[in-house]
Structure 1
Amino acid sequence: MNNRIGRKIYYDKSTGNVILDTGEKMGAVIETTIDQDFETYQALKQRVRDTVGVIQLEFGQYAEDFAQCNGFRVNPQTLELEFSYPDPNATEPQEPVYQKPLTEQLKETQQAVAELTLLLAPMNGGM
């Protein structure tokens, strides 16, 4: 049995701060339930269950973002995962700036370019 299980990210519902990232699992592993996680992980045992949210990701989802980021959280208003990335030009430590995953921003930009290309094609004689 060679399973691939995506990470679960448990977070504080009021702040969006990450309490626990289970990480991805591969091989002879079985997926755990949220109840099992609350029994297993010390960080969750210490929490009131109603104050904790969870996001289940697919295996490999946002892999590049996790590899490049220097922090992540859940936006408490949108319940979307947000990442902060290091500034390669910074000479001093910076406060994290959380934003949509760069992989999603790239897809949106590519889509916008494709739409603009289609709109501009008739103006350029179809070229």
Structure 2
Amino acid sequence: MNLEGRKILVNKSREDLVAMLKNPEDYRHLMPESLQNFEAREDGFKFSLKGMPEIALKIDEVLANQVVLKSASSSLDFSLTGNMEDAEEGKTQVQLLFEGDFNPFIKMMVEKPLQNFINALTDNLEKL
């Protein structure tokens, strides 16, 4: 299952944005309003949203133009990638991409909430 966030322009340089996304605590500010619990860890974070089970993510890869978060649970295989490109001076174009390997039943249950989550992250990134 693949989901895409819309392409947005963030008022930070790509270098500043990558530096921010390397820090697990900084993800707290990007979470949707329905956030109920957030716990930063050394290599990632776990959180829960209203009506959803707890999700644990680890910061898997940080490159000059990409940050990849992966599921910290072996039972669910998915990743959330933030692709970044330099835009005008001091701004970065960002797009979030979700890729998960789910059976059809799980996909049916999680597709809409995941798209809403990606949209909320995108909206909050755009406000930076």
TM over 0.5, shorter chain = no
Structure holding more strand per residue: 2
Normalization by structure 1: what TM-score?
A: 0.26
Task: State the TM-score, normalized to the length of structure 2.
Answer: 0.25
Greater helix percent: which structure?
1
Structure number with greater Rg is 1
